[in-house]
Structure 1
Amino acid sequence: MEMLTFNASAGYLEGVVRGYRNSLLSTHIYSSLSQCETLDDLRMQLSATDYGNFLANEQPPLTTSVIAEKATGKLVGEFRYLQDNAPKDGTLARFLEYMTYGYMIDNLILLITGTLHERDTHELLDRCHPLGTFDGMPALCVANTVEELYNSVVVDTPLAGYFKDCLSAHDLDDLNIEIIRNTLYKAYLEDFYNFTQSLGGTTAQAMGTLLSFEADRRTINITLNSFGTSLSKEQRAKLFPSIGKLYPAGNNALARADDVDQVKQVCEYIPEYKNWWKDGGLGGGSGEDGSEVEELEGKMFREETKLNKLETICQFNYSPFYAWLKLKEQEIRSITWIAECIAQGARDRITDFVQF
């Protein structure tokens, strides 16, 4: 039944996003980019791809930040086209709107963190992701308490419903800001998950897999990053999303974990996560070695990329829209990494990026 009715409302846009997917950079292109000697060489190589002349009007010297900004602008334009053409009263439009909430959370946290550290307001606004903009964003830069933050801006945004569990934090210090960030993401992931499950069919199954992985990754990262901080185990447990393969038993065990070895033991019960700790992954210890945590983060990105790559070839459901956006983000991170290695002369690390 799903196949009979899907094309009537979303068939055209599914074809568009499938075209977007086919324009993602191939292994051959990544190899060519990695051999570039200068950023101008990189621009020339990218001009032969779907990126086209997106850097044609940039004056020298070309910088990594400009490349990342223009690539992101292309992504935003493609996503806005999907939003503009989705039936306004349909579930696809709602689904695409949900996809922007994560960017709203990131922008909110960026602004209040930057304000806390007395960063320039215009600089902070320029760094916000275009997909996460909302009315009243400049007012975030003058809020001094969580209540002011909520009453002046957040109450009129889609994030208002996620914010109710944040109001107990009174001061906007670094720890409370991180608690707010993870509390918002927890509520957002659970809400998005429930929405996709209400759609049923292949969308529910596919998005259940993708969002469950995202929830588990956040749970593991919160646990590892809480070691050596003033965050209590009770506070840590409240930040874990109540979805994912780790939920509930794994979440309960991670809430009590004291070191990396205990996190590893919990992950061993999930075959996909167990492999992260092999072949040079985290082997134990206190978890204070930032390079080890960075390596684990890279393995998580690779697992996410693999899952999203599989979903982009599915049909008659909404998961390809989500998966394409995630893959495009990863592509931009990879291009930016290559560009930065070229700019810094760090050619020995130029291939240390996630490709698919």
Structure 2
Amino acid sequence: MSVLGSEMLFFNVQNGYLEGIIRGYKAGLLTQSNYSNLQQCDNLEDLRMQLSATDYGNFLSNETLPLSTSTISQKSSQTLVDEFNYVKSNASEPLSTFLDYMTYSYMIDNVILLITGTLHERDTHELLDRCHPLGKFDAMSALCVATNVEELYQSVLVETPLAPYFRSCLSASDLDDLNIEIIRNSVYKAYLEDFYDFSQSLGDPTASIMAKLLSFEADRRSINITLNSFNTELTKEMRNSLYPQFGRLYPAGTYALARAEDFDQVRAACEFIPEYYHMFDGFSSNNTDSDHNNSLEDRFFAHDVLLNKETFLQQFNYAPFYSYFKLKEQEVRNIVWLSECIAQSAPQERRAVPTIF
């Protein structure tokens, strides 16, 4: 038996059933036709009826009228969570660890949400309700009483999978807005580098596909960190320390980003990667956020969707598990965006979905 045949055989023994489930889930994602129908809805009840004809089924059937966008957001997110939990409960190693890594990003977001909300004296119960279900863990509520990073780490995070990522942040002092953003990006950098190393240990084709996906995520974060640092107290040295140390921009592109002083210099730093460089077309230092439908962030999302769709062209690897839930997450964002437009009676030309499949 060939090496490839052996690899295919053993992959299917352990993961063939779940890969089939994931590909079935992917076939149920909303299509262009579905989005066109949703864009024509006059109210949220119409949107519910349109969604009931898709794989979402009657997920809103027990909700009282009138529907709210928060309910639609919560229930559509729960479909993602239910699918993830089903796959996770049936996974064996190394897929189960791979799926664990996917939850760490939600855990990081939840931690930052809680400490930021506490800083601004938001209601604890409201903050906990806003936390993503895939990122919840025991003792989360204790985050709301921490007053510094050392206390945050020793009282709560030391017993979680995030502990190694937070160790590098213990030198931070007060939990103010700037330090929290530095912590967020430092932790996410450590997480992405760890996830990248783990995915590379799985061998090809998983390693090569995940390298492509995670490299784009690392590059996107480096670009966003740079753009968001202008006119702030974040120094160029601090900015450079927050860039993940892998990706297509690393090291030459991140070196240029660390020294960029305006939007045009950020674009110039991406010049040697055409697909990144052309994402800046039509923008300048004065209009980067002026048009939601054509914003730079939407173009990043669109490219991310393209990369994740391409993942399904190959079989016998773990990347489709990552890509499906990224596509599903974008679909939930699309549904919430349309719900908000409909609830606010926005004209149909404003209901163009930023990213579709």
TM-score bracket for the superposition, by shorter chain length: over 0.9
Q: Which residue of 1 aligns with 2:310?
A: 310
| 1:160-309 equivalence runs, <5 A | 160-278=163-281, 280=282, 282-283=283-284, 285=285, 290-291=289-290, 295-309=295-309
* Structure 1 Cα separation of the partners of residues 229 and 153 of structure 2: 26
* Structure 1 Cα separation of the partners of residues 204 and 291 of structure 2: 39
Unmatched segments (≥5 aa) in structure 2 = none
CA drift at 1:164: 1.3
Q: Which residue of 2 aligns with 1:72?
A: 77
CA drift at 1:352: 3.8
Q: Which residue of 2 aligns with 1:351?
A: 352
Letter in 1 for 2:89: D
For residue 249 of structure 2, give the secondary structure of its aligned residue in structure 1.
coil
Letter in 1 for 2:31: S
Contact 2:200 2:208 in 1 (8 A): yes
Contact 2:149 2:172 in 1 (8 A): yes
For residue 161 of structure 2, give the secondary structure of its aligned residue in structure 1.
coil
Letter in 2 for 1:290: D
Deviations 1:179-209 (A, max 9, x none): 0000011000000000000111100010000
RMSD: 1.2
Q: Which residue of 1 aligns with 2:148?
A: 145
For residue 290 of structure 1, give the secondary structure of its aligned residue in structure 2.
coil
For residue 56 of structure 2, give the secondary structure of its aligned residue in structure 1.
coil
**Residue 82, structure 1, aligned to residue 87, structure 2:** yes
TM-score normalised to the size of structure 1?
0.96
* Structure 2 Cα separation of the partners of residues 188 and 291 of structure 1: 32
Letter in 1 for 2:262: D
CA drift at 1:292: 6.4
Contact 1:146 1:172 in 2 (8 A): yes
Letter in 1 for 2:233: S
Contact 2:139 2:156 in 1 (8 A): yes
Q: Which residue of 1 aligns with 2:99?
A: 96
CA drift at 1:289: 5.1
Contact 2:288 2:295 in 1 (8 A): no
For residue 290 of structure 2, give the secondary structure of its aligned residue in structure 1.
helix
Q: Which residue of 2 aligns with 1:16?
A: 21
* Structure 2 Cα separation of the partners of residues 352 and 34 of structure 1: 8
* Structure 2 Cα separation of the partners of residues 164 and 34 of structure 1: 46
How many percent of aligned residue pairs carry the same amino acid?
63
Q: Which residue of 2 aligns with 1:158?
A: 161
4+ aligned runs moved over 4 Å, structure 1: none
Report the number of matched residues.
350
* Structure 2 Cα separation of the partners of residues 110 and 18 of structure 1: 33
TM-score normalised to the size of structure 2?
0.96
Contact 1:313 1:320 in 2 (8 A): no
Letter in 1 for 2:226: T
**Residue 63, structure 1, aligned to residue 64, structure 2:** no
* Structure 1 Cα separation of the partners of residues 247 and 38 of structure 2: 36
